[in-house]
A and B are shown apart, each in its own frame.
Chain A
Amino acid sequence: DSGVTQTPKHLITATGQRVTLRCSPRSGDLSVYWYQQSLDQGLQFLIQYYNGEERAKGNILERFSAQQFPDLHSELNLSSLELGDSALYFCASSKGASRNQPQHFGDGTRLSIL
């Protein structure tokens, strides 16, 4: 068990809808990262938050947004969903933001768009 909790585990919705994915980092971890895993794109970094502030942005679509709350949990919001958004979305956390710290991953949220 990594200590990173993601909810829900599975989400099935329709095109055009909006969903929210939730992540609770490991106790004491200040950094949260979001990744998308799909068959065609592999594992892609989306966005990073550190202690409530956005730290880095990757290939995140404008339809997607995220935030990290004062209690350090994070939410990833996906709107105007398209079929191509179907993927596994992972949250990871680390103590700080330095490059030598490993990230610990949750079990992911599997998003299926019908």
Chain B
Amino acid sequence: AQSVAQPEDQVNVAEGNPLTVKCTYSVSGNPYLFWYVQYPNRGLQFLLKYITGDNLVKGSYGFEAEFNKSQTSFHLKKPSALVSDSALYFCAVRDDGNTGKLIFGQGTTLQVKP
């Protein structure tokens, strides 16, 4: 069965510093991986996806993610954090059946301090 793990409940970083939010996955075939962000009282916003191709994927708001097949990881990164990046981040993998359902990690709260 497909699964996703986000090992950190919370990540704290100072504004201007690089940030990393970790995600590891377990899939039976090729992984279809996604990152979403959730702001308070809002729905999830799509940031980026990895389907195939380059291991470094660029997304919205300056975020990027690095796919590492050998480590089964898909970490979210940003070179310089902003206070406005503070939110809840979800990593997700697409189900391997003939559906589009997403399987989410438990989420990581990112706190960027000025």
Contacts and interface: CB of A to CB of B under 8 A. Distances in A.
Interface residues of B, number: 25
A99 B94 contact: yes
A101 B100 contact: yes
Given A43-B90, A100-B32, A107 B100 contact: no
Given A42-B106, A42-B107, A43-B104, A97 B99 contact: yes
| Max count, chain A CB within 10 A of own CB: residue among B32, B46, B101, B103 | B101
Contacts, number: 70
Interface string A34-68: 01000000110100100000011010000000000
Nearest to B52: A100
Given A33-B100, A42-B104, A94-B100, A100 B51 contact: yes
B-side interface mostly: loop
Given A100-B49, A102-B34, A102-B49, A107 B42 contact: yes
A4 interface: yes
Interface in A91-114: 92, 94, 96-108
A58 B101 contact: yes
Which residue of B43, B98, B100, B101 has the most chain A CB atoms within 10 A of its CB atom? Answer: B100
Given A100-B49, A102-B34, A31 B42 contact: no
Contacts of B99: 48, 55-56, 97
A21 to B, nearest CB: 13
B44 interface: yes
Contacts of A35: 102
B43 A106 contact: yes
A31 B104 contact: no
Contacts of A98: 100
Contact of A99 (B32, B45, B106): B32
A33 B101 contact: yes
